[in-house]
Structure 1
Amino acid sequence: MDLTLEHHDVRTNGLRLHVVQCGPADGPLVLLLHGFPEYWETWHKQLPALVAAGYRVWAPDQRGYNLSDKPRGIRNYTIPVLAADVIELIDAAGRQQAHIISHDWGAIVSWYLAAQYPERLASTTIINVPHPAAEARNLWRVPTQMLHSWYMVFFQLPWLPEQWFKRRNWWVARRLLAGTAHPGTFRPEEVERYVAAWAQPRAITSMINWYRGLRYSGRLQWPRIKGPLQVIWGKKDIFLKARMAELSMQQCDNGQLHFFPEATHWVHLEEPKAVNDLLLKFMAASPPATT
C-alpha cells in the first residue's frame, strides 16, 4: 500500500486551502473534515485504512486553520460559506460526488451539506456532533447540555478567547486535547504539531471565528436528510450528551447511529479499528455517482 502524502494548495471559493491527498487517483473520493481545534492530521489513523480500501482521500486544513488561507472578518466563517468550500473541493477534484467523513465543527458543516446538497454527497459520516436544528429545538429536553455548552457563548467575545488560549504557552488549548481524551490519545510530539498549527499567523482568531460566524449565518433551512448518513458517537464526550445523537436521528430518513460507550469526543482516535470498519462498510454500500 502506497501511503504517500501529497501536499497541495487548492483554490476554492476564492481561497487557497492546503489539502493533503493520498490514495489512487481514480479511487472514489473521500473528504475528511476536521473540527476545532484540529487540522488535517486528526485523521492520521483513518488514512491508511481508506487508502488500502482504494479511496482517493482529501484531508484539507479548513479555512482559517493551519496552512490554509485565513480571511479576515467573521462573515467569512458562516455555515453556508464553509459548506461552499467543501462543494468547491469536490468540484476541484473533478467529481460529481464524494463521501464525507467529519468530526466536531466539520460535522456541523456536514449536517448542512447533507441537508442542502444531497446530490453531491455519496454518504455522510458524522462524528460526535448533533444535528444543529435538533440541538436547538430539543435543548430544553437535555438541560445539562446548556451547562456543557458555555464555551460557545464565551467564544462570541472579542479578543479575550484568543488570549485565554495563548496564555502559558497554549496551556488551555493543550488541556482541550489531553483533558478531553483518554490518556495517551495525543502523544507529546503530536500535541506540539497542534501547537504549531494554532500558532500560525491569525490562526487562532480565524478558528474561533467559526463559532462567531454562527450569529451571522441567518435562519438556516434544514430540510430532512434523505441520503445515507451515519453518526458515530463516543458516549464519554464531556461536552455533548449522547441523547443529542438520538434526537438527531429524527432528522434523517436513512440514518444509522453507532455508540461507543467507553470512547470520548475523540472516538476516531481512540477506537480507530472499529471506527474504520464502520466507515468502510458504510461507504461501500453507497458508491458515488460517476456522472
Structure 2
Amino acid sequence: MSDSGLLAPGWRPGRRQVNGLSLHVVEAGPETGPLVVLLHGFPEFWWAWRHQITPLAEAGFHVVVPDMRGYNLSDAPRGIASYHLDLLVADVLALADSFGADRFDLVGHDWGGVIAWATAARHPGRIGRLVILDAPNPDLLGQALRHPTQALRSSYAALFQLPLLPEAMLRPLGFAGLRAMMRGSARPDTFRPGDLDRYATAWGQPGRLSAMLNYYRALRRRRRPAEPARILPPTLVLWGERDAALERHVARDAVGLCDSGRLLVIPGTTHWLHLEEPERVTAEIGGFLKGGS
C-alpha cells in the first residue's frame, strides 16, 4: 500500500529502520535545515499534519513526520509490551539519530504529545524546543484523574484498556465507532468529505487497530516516577478552547512543570485545533520554533 495520493509537491516519502522496526516517514524542506519531528495522535497518522508540513518546510525546517509504530504504513509489532512508553520515546530518539541530529525540535498532538512530554522529560539535552497540542504530561496523569470531571472525560481511555471489546466496538461498519468519536469531538467543519475515509484506510491495515489501542493498554504498565520531572527545554502548549477530552487544568498543571513554558488557548477550537485553525496553529508553531517566546 502507498500513501502517494496524499502527498503534496515537495513531500518525500521514505522508511527508517528504528529500534528493530521500520517506520514510514514523510519529509519536506531542506535536509540541511534544523530538524523538527511532528508526532501525530490517536487515531490519526502522518497525514494529521497536512496543513503544517509545507509552511514549516518553507520556513527552512527539515520536517520529518512519521507514522508512529503500529500506525498506517509503519510496522505494527504484536503485544501490549511493544507499546510501552519507554519504547515510544526510544523510537523518537532513534528516528532523530537516523537523520544525524543530536538536537532537534519536537511537536506532538494527543498521544504524540504524551510521547513528546516524556521525551523532553527524560532526554532534555536532545530537545531544542517543544510544542505540545492538547496532550497531558504522563507524569501528571494520576493528578489529573483525581478531578472527578476529568476522570469522567477520560473514561474512554479506561475502556480502551480492556481486551478485545474496544476492537469489537470500533471496527464494525467501516469503523463507524471511530468515525463517530472523531466527529463527535470536533467542530462540524473539521473533517471534509472523504477525510475520514482516508483515516479508515489506515485503520484497516492488518493489526493496526489493536496496535493503536495497545498504546492505552500499555499505559498502566509504565513506571510511575516518585516526582514529576521538570521540563527543561522551552515549551509552548497550544490548547483547544473547547476540547471535550481534556480540561484546561491539565494544560495549566503541565506548564507549571516547565522551566520556560507558555500556554496559549486557541479560541473556538476543539481537540483537533491543528485541523480547525491551521493557519493560526502553524504560525504559532513556526514562530516559536524560530525563537519566539
**Aligned-partner Cα distance in 2 for 1:118–1:213:** 24
How far apart are the structure 1 equivalents of 2:176 and 2:224? 36
- Displacement of 1:51 in angstroms is 1.0
* Alpha-carbon RMSD: 1.4
Cross-structure match for 1:149: 154
Tell me, yes or no, if structure 1 residue 109 matches structure 2 residue 115: yes
Of 174, 177, 185, the match for 2:190: 185
TM-score scaled by length of structure 2: 0.94
Residue 44 of structure 1: aligned partner: 50
Cα drift, residue 218 of structure 1: 2.2
Q: Does 1:211 align with 2:216?
A: yes
Q: How far apart are 1:84 and its partner, in Å?
A: 0.1
Q: Match for 1:84: what amino acid?
A: A
Question: SS of the counterpart of 1:18?
Answer: strand
Residue in structure 2 matched with residue 289 of structure 1 by the alignment: none
CA contact (8 A) 2:239 2:265 kept: yes
- The aligned amino acid for 2:221 is Y
From 177, 188, 209, the equivalent of 1:172 is 177
- C-alpha distance after superposition, 1:36-57 (max 9, x if no partner): 0000000000012101101111
Alpha-carbon separation, structure 2, partners of 1:149 and 1:223? 23
Aligned residues of 1:235 and 1:241 also touching (Cα < 8 A): no
How many residue pairs end up in the alignment?
A: 284
Please give the per-residue CA displacement for 1:142-178, whole angstroms capped at 9, x wherever unaligned.
Answer: 3200111111111111111011111122111111222
Instruction: Tell me what 1:24 maps to.
Output: 30
Q: C-alpha separation between the residues in 2 aligned to 1:94 and 1:279?
A: 23
Match of residue 281 from structure 2 = 275
Q: Distance in 2 between matches of 1:163 and 1:5?
A: 36
Shift, 1:241, TM fit? 0.6
Name the SS for the 1:188 alignment partner: coil
- 1:68 alignment partner in structure 2: 74
Q: Structure 1: how far apart are the matches of 2:138 and 2:218?
A: 14
How far did 1:280 drift? 1.2
CA offset at residue 188 of structure 1? 2.1
Distance in 1 between residues matched to 2:136 and 2:237, nearest whole Å: 9
CA distance in 1, matches of 2:88, 2:52: 23
Residue by residue over 1:98-155, the C-alpha shift from the partner in whole angstroms, topping out at 9 and shown as x without a partner, is 1111100000011111111111111110000122223322433x32001111111111
- Note the residue ranges of structure 1 that are not aligned, 5 or more in a row: 287-291
User: Aligned partners of 1:205, 1:220: CA distance in 2, in Å?
Assistant: 27
State the alpha-carbon separation in 1 of the partners of residues 106 and 181 from structure 2. 25
Asked if structure 1 preserves the Cα contact closer than 8 Å seen for 2:28 and 2:54, the reply is no
Task: Please point out which of 30, 35, 59 is paired with 1:53.
Answer: 59
Cα distance in 2 for partners of 1:138, 1:199 equals 33
Counterpart position of 1:252: 258
Percent identical among aligned pairs is 42
* Contact persistence 1:224–1:253 (CA under 8 A): yes
Classify the secondary structure of the residue corresponding to 2:73: coil
**How far apart are residue 220 of structure 1 and its match?**
4.1
Closer, same or farther: CA 3–123 of 1 in aligned 2, 3 Å: farther
CA contact (8 A) 1:3 1:22 kept: no
| Runs of 4+, deviation exceeding 3 Å | none
Paired residues of 1:51 and 1:57 also in contact (CA < 8 A): yes
- For residues 60 and 131 of structure 1, the distance between their equivalents in structure 2, rounded to whole angstroms, comes to 21
* Greater shift in the superposed pair: 253-262 or 127-136: 127-136
Higher relative contact order (CA 8 A, sep 6+): 1
Taking structure 1 as reference, are residues 218 and 165 closer, same or farther at Cα in structure 2, changes over 3 Å only?
Answer: same
Q: Which amino acid aligns with 1:52?
A: E
Q: CA deviation at 1:3?
A: 3.9
Question: Matched residues in 2 for 1:253 and 1:44: separation?
Answer: 31
1:160 is aligned to 2:169: no
CA displacement, residues 27-73 of structure 1 (integer Å, 9 cap, x when unaligned): 11110100100000000000121011011111000000000000011
Q: Secondary structure, in 3 states, of the residue corresponding to 1:226? A: coil
Distance in 1 between the 2:144 and 2:204 partners? 37
